[in-house]
């Protein structure tokens, strides 16, 4: 039987595409996530679209949410909270305790002056000044960031020479530790 170069080339091409997809799926694909955070010492019971969730103390729980409006009901310090929030972005954090979270935006790009970007913006946390694009959030639903609490900044970021800013949300203590490890 004679080898057909066309079939052989097709098989090699399919193999390369399959390997590329596996590398993407295992190492490069970023999953979107919606989380409920409970940094308190008490468990919290809440209802999202009348579906019950019980979050243990100091726990982060992933949930499935679709874009659009959702109802949120729970008890907080003896009063009933009944509200609506709207999912507009690919990541979100439900913060029933209204704890402090910080969104840190890292600049990427070959021709950017990171030093001037960092020193032009500051935020004071616990009487200490932090440099960079940092936003303080303590609302019931937080969105508008790229990496969630359960995700890390990538070690390598491919940006094809474009200027891009990538943001991540942190709890207060996690942000202070991240900043210390990376910028001090």
Residue span of the structural domain in which 50 resides: 34-183
The answer to whether the beta carbons of residues 121 and 74 sit under 8 Å apart is no
Task: Write down the pLDDT at residue 3.
Answer: 78
| 6 in any annotated domain | no
| 23 in any annotated domain | no
Structurally, the chain folds into a number of domains equal to 1
| 20 in any annotated domain | no
| 147 in any annotated domain | yes
Convert the pLDDT of each residue in 101-120 to its tens digit. Answer: 999 988 776 655 555 656 67
- Please give the Cα distance from 164 to 117 (Å, whole number): 13
pLDDT tens track of the chain, all 184 residues? 577 888 888 899 999 998 888 887 776 666 778 999 999 999 999 999 999 999 999 999 999 998 899 999 998 878 898 999 999 988 899 999 999 999 998 877 665 555 565 667 888 999 999 988 899 999 999 998 988 898 887 766 665 666 677 889 999 999 999 999 988 7
| 98 in any annotated domain | yes
Other Cβ atoms less than 10 A from the Cβ of 83: the count is 11
| 26 in any annotated domain | no
| 11 in any annotated domain | no
Task: Write down the pLDDT at residue 28.
Answer: 66
The answer to whether the beta carbons of residues 105 and 121 sit under 8 Å apart is no
Pairing, β 92-94 against β 34-38: parallel
pTM for the structure as a whole: 0.78
Report the phi/psi class of residue 158: left, alpha or beta, with left for phi > 0 and alpha for psi in -120 to 50: beta
| 133 in any annotated domain | yes
């Amino acid at each position: 039987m004679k080898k057909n170069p066309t079939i052989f080339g097709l098989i090699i091409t399919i193999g390369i595409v399959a390997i590329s997809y596996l590398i993407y799926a295992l190492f490069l694909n970023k999953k979107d996530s919606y989380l409920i955070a409970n940094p308190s010492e008490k468990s919290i019971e809440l209802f999202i679209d009348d579906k019950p969730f019980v979050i243990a103390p100091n726990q982060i729980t992933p949930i499935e949410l679709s874009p659009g409006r959702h109802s949120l009901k729970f008890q907080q310090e003896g009063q009933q909270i009944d509200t609506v929030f709207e999912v507009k972005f690919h990541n979100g954090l439900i913060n029933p305790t209204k704890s402090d979270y910080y969104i840190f935006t890292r600049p990427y790009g070959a021709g950017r002056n990171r030093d001037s970007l960092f020193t032009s913006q500051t935020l004071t946390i616990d009487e200490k000044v932090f440099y960079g694009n940092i936003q303080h959030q303590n609302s019931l639903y937080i969105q508008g960031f790229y990496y969630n609490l359960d995700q890390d900044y990538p070690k390598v970021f491919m940006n094809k020479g474009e200027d891009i800013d990538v943001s991540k949300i942190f709890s207060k203590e996690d942000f202070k530790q991240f900043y210390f490890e990376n910028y001090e």
